[in-house]
Copies of this chain bind each other. A is one copy, B any other.
Amino acid sequence: MNLYQRIKKDLQQGRFAPGQVLKQAELAELYDVSRIPVRDALQQLKSEGWLTGHGKRGVAVPRFDPLEVEDLYLMRMRLEPLLQNLAAPQLNAETLGRARDILDRMESDQTLAATEIGALNWEFHACLYRAAARPTLFATVEQLHRQCERYIGYQSRSLDYQDTSQREHYAILDALQRDDSDTAATLLEQHIAAAGQQLVAFLRSGSG
């Protein structure tokens, strides 16, 4: 595991308090490396929203921001159905099979941690999106997803939501399998909207 991944994991697990300012030297000592790799990792983490740059005043752990979540999900609502539609004509039995395998695994394995559920969730959608063979569009969608990542711990807390989400996943996949990409796109848009609303409501209700 490289430094970027180690710091990100610790941010995910709440090792650093929101609002806390992190110094390069602190992190270097904490992770037992020099400041050079710390700087590289920080730049990447900033570009993914895990840290915010105070310019030349070091970096800070950002607070949870409902407006940021709203924006991220609004964008995903616009871009992901587009990408899925571009992928739809290219989907073959193998890809659809792999997507279904992922859903089945999420369904059957009750021991999955929140981050693992999040990872499989994305892998399901990404598996379909990749079939579009549109690297630029995919890269932006992936980046938006990465920016959402720091919130997903909260999302998957609600088991109730997980059930709904899974049913939506199967409905999307079924629609794609019967070549009904319009329905699949609509379902996907609603799926993203629901996830966003659930998350924003949770954050606004205090726990942010």
Task: Give me the interface of A with B, judged by CB distance under 8 Å.
Answer: 36, 39-40, 43-44, 47, 49, 65, 67-68, 71-72, 74-75, 78-79, 82, 134-137, 140, 144, 147
Contact = CB atoms under 8 A, between A and B. Distances in A.
Given A74-B82, A75-B140, A79-B78, A134 B67 contact: yes
14 contacts: A40-B43, A43-B43, A43-B44, A47-B47, A49-B136, A67-B135, A67-B136, A71-B134, A72-B136, A75-B79, A78-B79, A78-B82, A79-B79, A140-B144
Given A75-B79, A140-B140, 18 more contacts: A36-B36, A40-B40, A40-B43, A43-B43, A43-B44, A47-B47, A49-B136, A67-B134, A71-B134, A71-B136, A71-B137, A71-B140, A74-B137, A75-B137, A78-B79, A78-B82, A79-B79, A140-B144
A137 to B, nearest CB: 4
Nearest to A137: B71
Contact of A78 (B40, B67, B78, B135): B78
Nearest to A81: B78
Nearest to A72: B136
